[in-house]
Amino acid sequence: MPDTTHFGYQSVPTAEKAGRVRQVFDSVADRYDLMNDLMSGGLHRLWKRFALARTGLRPGQAALDVAGGTGDIAAGLCRQVGREGRVVLTDINAAMLANGRRRLVDRGIAGNIAYVQANAEQLPFAPESFHCVTIGFGLRNVTDKDAALRSMAQVVRPGGRVLVLEFSKPALRLLAPAYDAYSFRVLPWLGRMVADDEASYRYLAESIRMHPDQETLRRMMAAAGLEDCHYHNLSGGIVAVHVGLRY
């Protein structure tokens, strides 16, 4: 791994990035869901629903949600696997994980879900433990994305799949100027006004721009050992769902 990596548009020592990302999410955890609704106009719920429709899960199976934050995707996974199934929600950030657990309990989701604080690069599960692994809006914050993809691929059972829901590159050229203006003017302003944290939301906007584009991520998933890797552009490519299968 190189000695330096990106933290938004900054170059920082690789060993420091995880700690810096942790500070960002410690800061935004309590307002995370409200900000998601404001930033996306509620579209994030439709994006997550689209991803969940592609898990291939059946009642009684096992699923893992990596960097699952406050639990929106995990809640959908719990519905899909049912009372006899099993879902594990992981996040490297303790504050986000605690908020996720609290929100899911408030929604009456318990009994078929467990919570594990874990680094996506080194998932603490036996190989071939899950029928599906998801990561929603978390991969761009991981220091070593290749390691995280390998780790996710390793814990998927043959016949299962890995789903990556993440901000990506607009496929329509006309979208780019408006998207840039929104990202670097509106998002930091919302962060300042609603969460009293402009810097964290500026980082989140920058991290989107530093994330691999659709084709690059597809190739990374194939290099991690997944097959038939493909993606679906949503909202003109602002968001993409990547799917890789394990045979």
For residue range 229-242, list pLDDT tens digits in order.
999 999 999 999 99
pLDDT tens-digit map of 184-227: 888 888 888 877 888 888 888 899 889 999 999 999 999 999 99
The percent of residues above 90 in pLDDT, for the chain, comes to: 67
- List the single range of 32-36, 121-125, 141-145, 190-194 with lowest mean pLDDT: 32-36
Residue 45's CB: how many other CB atoms inside 10 A?
A: 12
Give pLDDT, residue 191.
Answer: 80
Tokens of 155: 């814990």
Average per-residue pLDDT in the chain? Answer: 92
Give the side-chain half-sphere CA count within 13 A for 200: 21
Quick one: DSSP state of residue 67? Answer: T
Q: Which domains does the chain have, with CATH numbers?
A: 19-245 (3.40.50.150)
Residue 28's CB: how many other CB atoms inside 10 A?
A: 23
What's the rounded mean pLDDT across residues 8-14?
89
- In this predicted model, which residue has the larger pLDDT, 235 or 41? 235
What's the rounded mean pLDDT across residues 103-113?
95
CB 237 within 8 A of CB 170: yes
pLDDT band for position 31 (cuts 50, 70, 90): confident
What's the rounded mean pLDDT across residues 145-166?
98
Instruction: Residue 164: name the closest of 247, 93, 73, 46 by CA.
Output: 73
Residue 165's CB: how many other CB atoms inside 10 A?
A: 25
SS3 percent helix, strand, coil of the chain, rounded to 5, is: 50, 25, 25
Give the side-chain half-sphere CA count within 13 A for 42: 0
pLDDT at 29 over 80: no
SS3 231: strand
Quick one: DSSP state of residue 58? Answer: -
Give pLDDT, residue 123.
Answer: 98
Q: Is the dihedral of CA 167, 169, 171, 172 positive or negative?
A: positive
DSSP 166-211: EE---SSTTHHHHHHHIIIIIHHHHHHHHSS-HHHHHHHHHHHHHS
Global pTM reads: 0.92
- In this predicted model, which residue has the larger pLDDT, 41 or 240? 240
Pairing mode, strands 239-245 and 156-167: antiparallel
Give pLDDT, residue 230.
Answer: 98
pLDDT at 35 over 80: no
What's the rounded mean pLDDT across residues 106-120?
96
Instruction: Residue 128: name the closest of 4, 7, 247 by CA.
Output: 247
